[in-house]
Amino acid sequence: MIIIMEPKASDIQVQKVIDFLKANGFEIRFNRGEIHTVIDAIGDKTTVTPGRISGFDGVKEVKIIREPFRLASRDRKPDDTIVEFSNGVKIGGNNKPVFMAGPCSVEDYDGLIKVAQAAKESGCQFLRGGAFKPRTSPYDFQGYGEKALKFLQKAGNETGLLTVSEIMDASDIDLMCEYIDVLQIGARNVQNFKLLHAVGKCKKPVILKRGLSSTIREFLLAAEHILYNGNPNVILCERGIRSFDSAFTRNVMDIASIPVIKKYSHLPIIVDPSHGTGERYLIEPMAKAGLVVGADGVMIEVHHDPENALSDGKQSLPIAMFKDVMSRLNQLTEKIHYEKNCLSANIG
C-alpha cells in the first residue's frame, strides 16, 4: 500500500507510521518530497489493513495497490470458477449461459407448477421462487416459509429443474438445504456478515446479489466472506443499484459490472433484469445486454397471473410473454456460445 502523509506531517509522525509497519513485517521505501512524504509499504495486508494506518496522525490517504479481495481475485486464481450440479448443469467458464425463472414469491402449487413447466419447456435449468421474502414494509407479504420450500422441491422434482430460494437468516440453513439446491442471498443482506459466514460454512452453491448501494469492490468483498469461510461455489448476481432517477426504472442495472467483474474475479456472474429494471418490457433487452457482455446466466421473474401476484407483479413476465422472450434469448445464447467457443478454440 501507498501512504501519503499530510504536507505538514512531522518527522515523528512519519517515523511512527514507518516503525509500526516495519514491526508488522512490511518492507518500506519512502520518499520525502518537497510537499508530500510518500511511504511505499510492501507486506501482508491481512496483518495490517489500510484502515488501520489511516488512523495514524499525519496520514492523508492510504491507497491500495492490490485489490483487497484475495480469494475472489483473478490474480490468485486465473481460471474461471465453474459451479457444477449433480445433474451435470454447470455455471461459469465457457459453459453455455444458464436460465433461472420463477415467481418472486411462491404462492400456490398450481401456479408454481405452471411456471415451472414453462421454464422447463423454454430451456431453463433452474426454478427460482421466494419462500422467505425480505420486504421493505412489514405489512407486505412476507412469504410462506417452509410450505413454499416444499412446493419448490415438489415442482423441482416434477420438472427436473434445480431450485433456488432466498435465505434470510443463518438459523434457516438446515431447513433450506433440506429442500433446495441453491441458496440466494438477496440485495438487502449482501453485508449481513453472519449470514455470509454461515453460507460459507455449508457447501451449497450460493447466488449472491449485489446490494442496492454496493460498489463492485464491496460486492466482491462480500463474496470473499463466503469463500474465506470455505464455500467456493459462489455465483454473483448483478441486480441493479439505486441511483437518482427512479422515474422510469426501479434500479440502474450496471451492465459494465459484468466485464469488470470478469476482469478482476474468476467467479461466475448472472444478471437479474427483473429487479435490475422493475419493468416487464425491459427484461428482454437487458437480459440480452447482460448475455452480450458475458453474463453466465439470466434470472427472470415469471408469474402465472402477474396482476394478482403477492409481490413484484409489475416486473414479472406472464407465461406466454416469458416463452416468447425465452425463444429469442435462447437464439442469442446459442450464437454467443458458438462464437465464444470458436474464439477460444482458435486462441487455444
- Mark residues 202-231: x for contact with ligand PEP by CB under 6 A, - for none: -------x----------------------
Instruction: Work out whether 102 is an interface residue with ligand PEP (CB under 6 A).
Output: no
In the list 83, 104, 149, 271, the residue contacting ligand PEP (rule: CB under 6 A) is 104
Instruction: Work out whether 134 is an interface residue with ligand PEP (CB under 6 A).
Output: yes
Alpha-helical runs (H) found in 69-145? 109-121
- Mark residues 84-123: x for contact with Mn ion by CB under 5 A, - for none: --------------------x-------------------
Q: Which is nearer to ligand PEP, 92 or 211 (CB)?
A: 211
Q: Which is nearer to Mn ion, 192 or 311 (CB)?
A: 311
Range in contact with ligand PEP (rule: CB under 6 A) among 41-49, 71-79, 107-115, 186-194: 186-194
Contacts (CB under 5 A) with Mn ion, residues 307-326:
312
3-state SS class at 262: helix
Phi, psi of 109, rounded to the nearest 5 degrees: -65, -40
In the complex, which residue's CB is closest to Mn ion? 104
Can you tell me the distance from the alpha carbon of 87 to that of 59, in angstroms, rounded to the nearest whole number? Answer: 54
DSSP string, 23-43: HTT-EEEEEE-SS-EEEEEES
Q: 264-294 as b/e, with b when 16 or more CB fall inside 10 Å?
A: bbbbbbbbbbbbbbbebebbbebbbbbbebb
From Mn ion, ligand PEP, none, which one binds at residue 268 (CB under 5 to 8 Å depending on kind)?
none
Q: Which is nearer to ligand PEP, 103 or 200 (CB)?
A: 103
Nearest distance from residue 161's CB to ligand PEP, in Å?
17
Range in contact with ligand PEP (rule: CB under 6 A) among 76-84, 89-97, 107-115, 185-193: 185-193
Contacts (CB under 6 A) with ligand PEP, residues 48-87:
none
Q: Please, are residues 131 and 143 in contact by the beta-carbon 8 Å criterion? A: yes
Nearest distance from residue 186's CB to ligand PEP, in Å?
3
In the complex, which residue's CB is closest to ligand PEP? 186
Instruction: Dump strand ranges (E) for the chain.
Output: 2-5, 27-32, 37-42, 59-63, 83-84, 90-91, 98-102, 126-128, 162-166, 182-185, 206-209, 234-238, 269-271, 297-303, 317-318
Q: Please, are residues 126 and 101 in contact by the beta-carbon 8 Å criterion? A: yes
3-state SS class at 259: helix
Q: Which is nearer to Mn ion, 134 or 230 (CB)?
A: 134
Instruction: Work out whether 33 is an interface residue with ligand PEP (CB under 6 A).
Output: no
CA distances from 65 to 2, 13, 43, 200, 216 (A): 7, 23, 11, 27, 16
Nearest distance from residue 100's CB to Mn ion, in Å?
12
| Location of C-alpha cell 415438489 | 154
Q: How many residues does the chain have?
A: 348
Q: Which is nearer to ligand PEP, 104 or 116 (CB)?
A: 104
Contact positions toward Mn ion, by CB under 5 A? 104, 312
Contact positions toward ligand PEP, by CB under 6 A? 104, 130, 134, 186-188, 209, 239, 275
